[in-house]
Amino acid sequence: MTGTDGPDGERPARVFLTRVLEPGDEVGGQWVRERGVAEVVRRLRDDGEPLPGVTAKRWAGLLARAEGAEPERDLAVAREAGVRFVCPGDAEWPRPLDDLGDARPLGLWVRGRPSLRMWALRSVAVVGARACTEYGAHMAVTLAAGLAERGWVVVSGGAYGVDGAAHRGALGAGGATVAVLACGVDRPYPRGHTELINRIGEQGLVVGELPPGEHPTPSRFVLRNRVIAALTRGTVVVEAAHRSGSLVTARAAQRLGRHTMGVPGPATSGLSAGVHELLRGEAALVTDAAEVVELVGAMGELAPERRGPVLPRDLLEPAARRVLTALPGRRAAVAGEIAREAGTSPDDAVARLYELRALGYVERHGDSWKLTRQAIVSVRRGRRPC
C-alpha cells in the first residue's frame, strides 16, 4: 500500500515524524516501538507530557519542529515530484532494514518506478572515497558494471568519486542502481550530480529518509550510511582513507552481519589505507564482480579459478616435463646426464627425448641432446627463481 493512508493509518503520522525526528534517532525509535506512532505524534502535536529519554531543552526543540510539520503538504509535494512514501508494513518495505532496530527509518521517500523491496533482495553496496584516484574510479565502474551484468543492483550514495563511478558503471551496463541520499529526494545533492541523480530516478531508484526540500548535513551523511549497509547483501569499499565515511558503511554492515569486502590498492596510497585496515580484520578481499557475487550470491555462484597463462610445456606429461627441465639451458648433454638430473633411467630418458624431439622441444646432436629455442623460452617461463 503506497497511498496517503499507510499501514494501520500510520502514513501521515510517520511523515509528520520525519519532519520532527532526525534520521537514526534511537530514542524516537524506542518511543515508536513502545508507545506507537499515534501516541508519539499526539504528545508532540498537542504539546503533551514530555516523553522519556530527552532533556527539557531537547523536548522543547522537538515541539518547535512539530509546529512546522505539515504531513499532508509533504505528501502532496512528493506526489507532484513523482515521489512516494514507503512505510514499514507496506508491501514495498525492504525487511532487511528492520535489522536496524530502533534506528530503523520511520519510512523512506522513494523516487522511481521499480519495487524497492524486490531490488534490495539482490543488491550490493559499492562505496568509497569522494576524492578517489583514477584507479579507484576505474575499479568502481568495472565492479558495478560486472555486478549489473550479473543481475545485481548497485547501491551507493550519489556522491562524487567512487559513488558516482559506481552508479555510472551500473547504468552504462544497462543495469539497476539505487542512490540513497542524505537530503530530500526531490533535491539532488551534490548539485554537480543533478543530471546523474535525475537519470537514476528515471532508470532506477532514488531513496532517502528526509522529507521533500530537506538539505544534507554532515551528521545526516553519516546516518545515511547505515541505510546503505542494511539495505544490501554486502558492502564493497573501493578506496577509503582512515577517516573515510565509507568505512562507517562497512562497519555498519559488519554489525548487521552483512558481507564486508574491500578492493586492495597500492600499499603506499593513503586512499587505500582504510581499505587495507578492513582487510586486516574481517573484510574479504575482492578484485572483480565475480568474487563479490561468490560471497553475496546463492550457493554455486563461484568465481572462476584464477590461473596464469597455459604454456605449451604445461600440456606435457609429468615424466616428459621432468626430462625437458633436466636439459642444460646453453649446451648439449648426453642421455645419462639428463637421466640423472631427471631422476629416471637412461632408457626412459631416451624415450622421452624422442617424444620431445617430435614436439619440437629438443634436437639431437650425435649422442647428445640440446634444447631448441622454443624450449628454452618455455622452460625459462616455467621455472621459478630460487
Q: In what order do the strands lie in the sheet with 333-334?
A: 333-334, 368-371, 362-365
Mean pLDDT, the chain, as a whole number?
Answer: 91
- Percentage of the residues of the chain whose pLDDT score is greater than 70: 91
> Tell me, what's the pLDDT at 385?
35
pLDDT exceeds cutoff 70 at 5: no
CA distance 170 to 244: 23
List phi, psi (to 5°) of 186: -90, 0
At 276 the pLDDT is: 97
Give the DSSP letter string of 95-124: GGGGGGGGGS-S-EEEESSS-HHHHHTTEE
| pLDDT per position as a tens digit, 263-272 | 999 999 999 9
Radius of gyration of the chain (CA): 30
Query: In this predicted structure, what is the pLDDT of residue 98?
Result: 97
List of domains in the chain = 1-79 (no CATH), 112-296 (3.40.50.450), 312-382 (1.10.10.10)
Residue 1 confidence class, pLDDT cut points 50, 70, 90: very low
Alpha helices in the chain, H assignment, sequence order: 11-20, 26-35, 37-45, 56-68, 71-80, 116-120, 134-149, 162-172, 194-203, 218-231, 245-255, 273-280, 289-296, 318-326, 335-342, 346-358, 373-382
Query: Roughly how many angstroms between the first and final C-alpha of the chain, as a whole number?
Result: 68
Q: 226 by DSSP, 3-state: which? A: helix
Query: How far is C-alpha 282 from the chain's CA centre?
Result: 15
Res. 2: pLDDT tops 90: no
Place of cell 537514476: 200
- Is the pLDDT at 249 greater than 90? The verdict is yes
| Residue 1 DSSP symbol | -
Q: Report the distance separating Cα 117 and Cα 92, nearest Å.
A: 5
Question: Who's near 251: CB < 8 A, 6+ residues apart?
Answer: none
| Contact (CB, 8 A) for 170 and 154 | yes
C-alpha grid cell for residue 247? 568505512
Residue 310: its pLDDT value, please? 55
CA distance 4 to 140: 38
Q: Mean per-residue pLDDT for 101-108? A: 97
pLDDT-above-90 percentage for the chain? 80
Asked whether the predicted pLDDT for residue 281 surpasses 50, the reply is yes
List pLDDT tens digits, range 306-320. 666 656 667 788 899
> Residues with Cβ < 8 Å from 345, sequence gap 6 or more?
339
Indicate if the alpha-carbon torsion angle 154, 228, 91, 22 is positive or negative.
Answer: negative
Region class of 286: left (phi > 0), else alpha (psi between -120 and 50), else beta: beta
pLDDT value at 102 more than 80: yes
Task: Name the β-bridge partners of 124.
Answer: 154
Residues 6+ apart with CB under 8 A from 264: 272, 275, 276, 279, 285, 287
Cis peptide preceding 190, ω within 30 of 0: yes
Other beta carbons within 10 Å of 384: 4
Per-residue pLDDT at 308: 61
Instruction: Classify residue 47 by burial, with Cβ atoms within 10 Å: 0-12, 13-18, 19+.
Output: exposed
Query: How far from chain centre, in Å, is Cα 202?
Result: 22
